[in-house]
Amino acid sequence: MFVASRAPSLKTVLLASGVVLTLAMGVRHGFGFWLQPISQANGWTRETYSLALALQNLLWGAFGPFAGMAADRYGTMRVVVVGAFSYMAGLVWMALVKDPTLFVLGSGVFIGLGLACTAFGAVSGIIGRVAPVEKRSWAFGISGAASSFGQFLMMPVEQQLISAVGWQTAFYVLAGLVVLLMVPMAFHLREPAVEHGAGPQQSVREAMREAVGNRSFLFLVAGYFVCGFQLVFIGVHMPAYLKDKGIASPGVAVMALALIGLFNIFGSYYAGKLGGRFPKRYLLSAVYFTRAVVIGLFLLAPLTPYSVYVFAAAIGFIWLSTVPLTNGIIAGIFGVKHMSMLAGVVFFSHQVGSFIGVWLAGYLFAKLGSYDIVWGIAIGLSVMAGLINLPINERAIERGALKAA
């Protein structure tokens, strides 16, 4: 029941993991719509809800290497099923719990674990193992596009749910949707039992030691921190930022976040496709430098609904384009045996950045009444990440008797 007799086809893996990623990332990207209604209903400042989302992102990253390790060892299917039920529990928890401390801790643990088991890190291993080497970067791009489609699809759905049935019932509906769709898809991600070939085999500890001692891996870790800081800050605080600046219509924020998802479908796909033809490190650097320019122009331009839409489209094209490039570099350097675990380690840095970005924005807004400093930090970090990725060495590691897959 839990182990397949043969490996699933690449098409099956991309379709099944695509549905899982669409839900996991789509639901998560809409959490910003609950910031104001939950805060107002419970009498909280924005810092409380921001801290809850910050903890979700941090624990998502902390659980990520272990979820990836479990997926590599026990199979992606089992991990996704656990994640679906944890995600459901977290959504119900956010609907019911009114104590701020319990809200922050419970939603952080349940949603964090749910995302760790259903998002990029958990499914990257099976994609890397099933996809031929020449199609690997493209396959990672397809998975990134699926998560972006989820954002495009779920933004208006979540906003309309909140308007139609209230913010609490909206959580219940999403909780049911997550379990009813993710669990059946998980059964299409079954793999054959791992067969170890003759000769030395690299252990988890050896793989981790090798990666941490590799300079290029550490550069990826540092760059991903910046990616997380920027994305979660913008995704969570954009609706409130626009309202503070006089764009009160919630439809503008919904359209902006949907445009980010729509344009990132193309951005992720073409990043993966280009990653198969050009050095991925240069493409990563270009993504980060471009983000700095796009954010700077957005802040300098007069703020109107149309400037918001242009910004959303531009930042959306480079939103998750880092994912196929980063995962492609990891697979190329270290092979795919421990792919999910190593992707989870890098992603932990992404989520540390997410934690700091979403919490710092809420904290500074509570203290200063403005997001200006956070926007400035986002630009500076972008330039730093662009420089850090340039010296990455993408060549596969030679291990003597062990060769990179």
Position 403 scores a pLDDT of 46
Q: Does 161 lie in the same domain as 235?
A: no
Q: Does 157 lie in the same domain as 36?
A: yes
Cα 192 vs. chain centroid, distance in angstroms?
A: 27
Give pLDDT tens digits for 388-404: 999 999 888 876 544 44
Classify residue 319: in a domain, yes or no: yes
Per-chain mean pLDDT for the chain: 86
Q: Does 331 lie in the same domain as 275?
A: yes
Q: Region 293-310: what's the mean pLDDT?
A: 93
Position 404 scores a pLDDT of 43
Query: What pTM did the predictor assign?
Result: 0.75
Cβ within 8 Å of residue 78, ≥6 positions away: 2, 70, 71, 186
Q: Does 100 lie in the same domain as 28?
A: yes
Q: Using the predicted structure, report yes or no on whether residue 297 has a pLDDT greater than 70.
A: yes
Taking the C-alpha atoms of residue 250 and residue 273, their distance in angstroms, rounded to an integer, is 35
The listed range with the strongest mean pLDDT (152-166, 269-283, 288-302) is 288-302
Give pLDDT tens digits for 90-137: 999 999 999 999 999 999 999 999 999 998 778 878 888 888 887 887
Q: What is the CATH number of the domain that holds 79?
A: 1.20.1250.20
Q: Does 245 lie in the same domain as 362?
A: yes
- Name the percent of the chain lying above pLDDT 90: 35
Taking the C-alpha atoms of residue 27 and residue 212, their distance in angstroms, rounded to an integer, is 32
Q: Does 286 lie in the same domain as 148?
A: no
Q: Does 219 lie in the same domain as 159?
A: no
Classify residue 159: in a domain, yes or no: yes
Position 352 scores a pLDDT of 87
Q: Please answer whether residues 341 and 207 qualify as being in contact, where contact means their C-beta atoms are separated by less than 8 angstroms.
A: yes
Position 193 scores a pLDDT of 59
Q: Looking at the 3D structure of the chain, how many domains does it have? A: 2
Q: Does 212 lie in the same domain as 142?
A: no
**Angle between the N-to-C axes of helices 100-118 and 46-74, in degrees from 0 to 180, rounded to the nearest 10:** 30
Classify residue 405: in a domain, yes or no: no
Pairing of strands 398-399, 402-403: antiparallel
Q: Does 319 lie in the same domain as 214?
A: yes
Last residue of a domain, one of 190, 217, 248: 190
Q: How far apart are the first and last CA of the chain?
A: 28
Last residue of a domain, one of 155, 190, 225: 190
- Name the percent of the chain lying above pLDDT 70: 95
Taking the C-alpha atoms of residue 88 and residue 172, their distance in angstroms, rounded to an integer, is 8
Q: Does 156 lie in the same domain as 253?
A: no
Q: Region 5-13: what's the mean pLDDT?
A: 79
Give pLDDT tens digits for 197-245: 444 567 778 888 888 889 999 999 999 999 989 988 888 788 888 888 8
Q: Does 171 lie in the same domain as 236?
A: no
Classify residue 198: in a domain, yes or no: no
Tokens of residue 172, six digits: 């219940």
Tell me the residue range of the domain where 346 lies: 206-396
Position 337 scores a pLDDT of 77
Last residue of a domain, one of 138, 165, 190: 190
Q: Does 338 lie in the same domain as 261?
A: yes
Conformation bin of residue 192: beta by default, left when phi > 0, alpha when psi is -120 to 50:
beta
Give pLDDT tens digits for 201-212: 677 788 888 888
Classify residue 258: in a domain, yes or no: yes
Position 195 scores a pLDDT of 52
Q: Using the predicted structure, report yes or no on whether residue 61 has a pLDDT greater than 90.
A: no
Q: Using the predicted structure, report yes or no on whether residue 265 has a pLDDT greater than 90.
A: no
Classify residue 282: in a domain, yes or no: yes
